[in-house]
Amino acid sequence: MTILIKNIKELLQVRDENTLKVSGSQMKELPSITNAYLLIEDDTIVDFGSMIDVSNVKADKTIDATNKVVLPTWCDSHTHIVYAGDRSQEFVDRINGLSYEDIANRGGGIVNSAKTLQNTTEDDLYNQSIQRVKDVMHLGTGAIEIKSGYGLTPDAELKMLRVIKRIKKDFPVKVKATFLGAHALPLEFKTNKQGYLDQIINDMLPQIAKENLAQYIDVFCEKGYFDLNDTAQILEAGLKYNLIPKIHVNQFNAFGGVALAVKYGAISVDHLEELNTEDIKVLKDSNTMPVALPSCSYFLSIPYTPGRQLIDAGLPLALATDYNPGSTPSGNMNFVVSTACIKMKLTPEEAINAATLNGAYAMGISKQYGSITKGKKANIIITKPISGYHYLPYAFGDNHIDQVIINGTII
């Protein structure tokens, strides 16, 4: 099956196969072709170029993209999209003055989500989660990382990871799975943190490896959750099973988590709302992708990741949603791109690079995803008629997407 998209007003993010991420001033550039065509064969991008050269191109199906912009789908490299229930009551509690930490101390927060999930069957969890997966696909997400971490018992963590595996099998969206057993301390281990770490290392990890349920390992490295020593134990144990670190650091405090993650070869460090000069220095000498989660900052009214500072220091940056029931009940990458421009002062070019190619890098998939490149997967957003791509972040809060193609399938 071949699909020809023709009369494209502007085809964005056109790259050769050797560009796997963009850093610093390169992020200001978004290579494009105006008045373009794009040819898809089955699940692959096979050709593109100027409409002047289109006369020899034949296809089974043709889509007319007059006045429309075409770009690669979003690559959302940080989500917790598999969860049970919601935490809208805590949302109201926060409006009434309680902090995220107050709520966690009362037994709310992550532990609350874990209790609900433990009492949810695998099928029910799958059915709740795929509704959200379908929604984000329609919002232009074509590749997604999904974490465990709302189980916090061996059974419930495995249940989450098996649901992620089913999503990977049942949907065209590209899925990468991350084991986040060290997301919060379960109540029964409140005075015995080492006991829980041992359970993660000795009970959960071997089974996850046996069933091949995760590619990455994550820790919520934060004061009051897991310190540097705890994080090192988990990452070290994960590496024995070839699980690459991809960790939550510097959301509320900067205390050396970035350096630790880099030391263990993390593919990404995520959050970074609190960042010091030492962190930036460490990242400059690494292959680790910094990931900002602006809709989390928006929802919690905490500082935004200093993305401008990271890019101006010559670093790359990726953008992701952090879709989760507590701090970001939204998986809308379009909103993330807008918020990065509005609140973090990224240019539209930087934000689109961060949400496509660099997002793919942060999931280890930028050889196949994240740009319009011959041989890459046919993951395409076709916008409604718009004045140009600047309009996408500018006219925030509305859906400007007309059609989404994922793995060659029109969604």
Question: Residues interacting with Zn ion, by CB under 5 A?
Answer: 322
Least distance to Zn ion, CB of residue 248, Å: 5
| Strand 268-271 to 244-249 pairing | parallel
Give me the sign of the Cα torsion angle 362, 321, 71, 350: negative
- Give least dist CB 37 to Zn ion, A: 39
Nearer to Zn ion, 56 or 301 (CB): 301
Q: Closest distance between Zn ion and the C-beta of residue 297, in Å?
A: 12
Between 273 and 350, CB nearer to Zn ion: 273
Cα separation, 322 vs 376, in Å, equals 25
* Whether the Cβ atoms of residue 271 and residue 305 lie closer than 8 Å to each other: yes
- Compute the distance between CA of residue 254 and CA of residue 261 in angstroms, rounded to an integer: 13
CB closer to Zn ion out of 76 and 322: 322
C-beta of 63 vs 362, nearer to Zn ion: 362
- Please give the full DSSP string across 58-102, using - where no structure is assigned: --SEEEE-TTEEEEEPEEE--B----SS--HHHHHHHHTT--HHH
CB-nearer residue toward Zn ion: 322 or 349: 322
Q: Which is nearer to Zn ion, 322 or 350 (CB)?
A: 322
Enumerate the β-bridge partners of residue 38.
Answer: 5, 48
Least separation in angstroms between CB 112 and Zn ion? 16
Which tokens belong to 40?
A: 């898809």
Q: Which residues contact 171 (CB under 8 A, 6 or more apart)?
A: 130, 133, 134, 137
Q: Which is nearer to Zn ion, 14 or 362 (CB)?
A: 362
Burial class (CB in 10 A: 0-12, 13-18, 19+), 384: middle
**Distance of closest approach, residue 110 Cβ to Zn ion, in angstroms:** 10
CB nearest Zn ion: which residue?
A: 322
Least gap, CB of 47 to Zn ion (angstroms): 38
- What is the C-alpha to C-alpha distance for residues 121 and 100, in angstroms, rounded to an integer? 28
| Nearest distance, CB of residue 18 and Zn ion, angstroms | 31
